Amino acid sequence: MDLSTLAVMDLKGVILAAGEGRRCRPLTQTRSKVMLPVGNRPFMEYVIRALAANDIKEIYVVVGYQKERVMDYFEDGIDFDVNITYIEQNELLGTAHALLKVKPYVDEEFLVVNGDNLIDKRAIAELVMAEGENVILSALRRHSGDYGVLIIDNGLVKEIIEKPGRPCSGILNTGAYKFTPEVFDALKQAPISERGSYELPETIMHMILEGVEVRPQITKGIWADAIFAWDLLNANNLALGMDEPKILGGVEEGAVIKGPVHVGAGSIIRSGSYLVGPISIGEDCDIGPNAVILPSTSVGNSAKIGPLTEVRNSILMNDARIGSSSIVSDSVIGASCTLGDQVVVETGDCVVEIEGLFQRAEFGAIIADDVSAGARVLASPGTVVGTKACIGSGAAISGMIKRDSRVIC
């Protein structure tokens, strides 16, 4: 199949964007998961761009948690060359319940995509052209047991094992589907899941048991998810390779830029700074002088990185500030955070408690929006800081720091 000459049918797209993404807390305390930025764009923007690139211009977005942020950012879709209709899921009762909300708007074959995944136009094209009326876009991955695994026999899905809970390799359910309107009859009879909600995988499994053929389409395109907040770093690395970098801002004499580095309009890279891509720097940022930014880093709009500070493999959201002589590695820094001078975020193996479960990971810190930290703060690996926490100068922090906390040394 030659995807470059693909003739795409007139399909409608449905984006499921109602949930919070609780396991990405505390970053989702102030925004839904679909609005978490990777490569300086929200997850859902990549979904919309992938649909638009395949000439899927009529898009229905099911919203719920923090819906205003989604609607304010994407509006009617005209800036993304699509037409968006918003449908509200008042009660967050699962993905099957969310999709059923779209029934009055769809009377032909359509696509369903989770708004909180990173996906490219190739993956969407493969789904569009896949044979069969009911298709699951799938991916070959080794994973930690947090995804649905497909059991395939003679080219058909025979079973969906939801979140086996142990590391394994397999064919994963990406959460992207192609359906005909007949799926709505199955959705009306959706079984309740162990979580007490109505979910698409359980509904599809019920369809399979009733004799409906469901086919997998293994993608060769880009697909990634972020189960936990630190998974954003991997998705960010992939996203940085999806856009063509441009130098739109100013670069002072003596600054060194190597590899693919994007510098947004109005930003300034000051003398002596050293940048190695892939990097994306948003608009109206102030970097340096003598700052070091190393690969797989995104810096949001109106952010500032002070002199002699080093940042690597990290995400800084809009309006974040880092003072001078600081070191930040493998971390996510939320919007409007302020970190003082000589702040050090260590990185390494750690165990983190999320939603009552202990997860082993390797990262520096996850710092939610509007956090302030004074000078000479030391953050141990696996530090998670809630929204609007205040960390005093000279403090050493680790573990979970709750929302609105005050930490003094």
Q: Does residue 117 register a pLDDT over 90?
A: yes
Q: What is the pLDDT of residues 302-360, one digit of tens each?
A: 999 999 999 999 999 999 999 999 999 999 999 999 999 999 999 999 998 877 778 88
Taking only the tens place, the pLDDT of each residue in 47-100 is 999 999 999 999 999 999 999 999 999 999 999 999 999 999 988 888 888 999
More confident residue, 153 or 101: 101
Q: Cβ distance 52 to 80 under 8 Å?
A: yes
Shared-domain flag, residues 170 and 314: no
155 and 203 share a domain?
Answer: yes
Which residue, of 209, 239, 269, is where some domain finishes? 239
- Are 48 and 194 in a shared domain? yes
Residue 245 lies in a domain: no
pLDDT (0 to 100) of residue 93: 82
> Which residues does 179 contact at the CB level (< 8 Å), separation at least 6?
109, 110, 111, 112, 133, 134
Final residue before a domain boundary, out of 217, 239, 261: 239
Is there a domain that residue 244 lies in?
A: no
pLDDT at 163: 62
In a shared domain, residues 179 and 265: no
Are 282 and 318 in contact, with CB atoms under 8 Å apart?
Answer: yes
122 in the same domain as 49? yes
Q: Tell whether 208 is covered by a domain.
A: yes
Same domain, 285 and 229: no
Tell whether 202 and 324 lie within a shared domain.
no
Are 322 and 306 a contacting pair, CB within 8 Å?
yes
| Structural domain total, the chain | 2
Residues 117 and 213 both lie in one domain: yes
The pLDDT value given to residue 193:
66
For residues 42 and 175, state if they share a domain: yes
153 falls within a domain: yes
Contact 91, 152 (CB under 8 A): no
In a domain, 233, yes or no: yes
* Claim to verify: residue 227 and residue 258 sit in the same structural domain: no
- The residue to which tokens 């929204």 are assigned: 387
Q: What percent of the chain has pLDDT over 90?
A: 70
Query: What CATH number does the domain containing 146 carry?
Result: 3.90.550.10
Separation CA 94–CA 96 (nearest Å): 6
Does residue 374 contact residue 340 with C-beta atoms inside 8 Å? Answer: yes
pTM over 0.85: yes
Q: Which domain holds residue 101?
A: 3-239
Crossing angle for the helix pair 67-74 and 43-53, to the nearest 10 degrees: 40
What confidence score (pLDDT) does residue 171 get? 84
Band (pLDDT 50/70/90 cuts) for residue 1 is very low
Please work out, in degrees rounded to the nearest 5, the angle formed at the alpha carbon of residue 218 by the alpha carbons of 214 and 223: 115
Please give the C-alpha separations between residue 72 and each of 27, 31, 67, 68, 335, in angstroms, as whole numbers.
19, 12, 9, 6, 17
Indicate if 194 and 168 belong to the same structural domain. Answer: yes
- Kindly report, residue by residue over 173-197, the tens digit of the pLDDT: 898 999 999 889 888 877 776 666 7
Do residues 69 and 212 share a domain? yes
pLDDT of 160 above 50 = yes
Mean pLDDT estimate for the chain: 90
Return the CATH number at 311: 2.160.10.10
Where is the domain boundary, 182, 210, 239?
A: 239
Report how far residue 29's alpha carbon sits from residue 170's, in angstroms, rounded to the nearest whole number.
Answer: 32
Distances (CA, A) of 122 to 9, 17, 149: 15, 21, 22
CA-closest candidate to residue 141, choices 117, 125, 121: 117
Q: Residue 198 phi/psi, 5° resolution? A: -110, 110
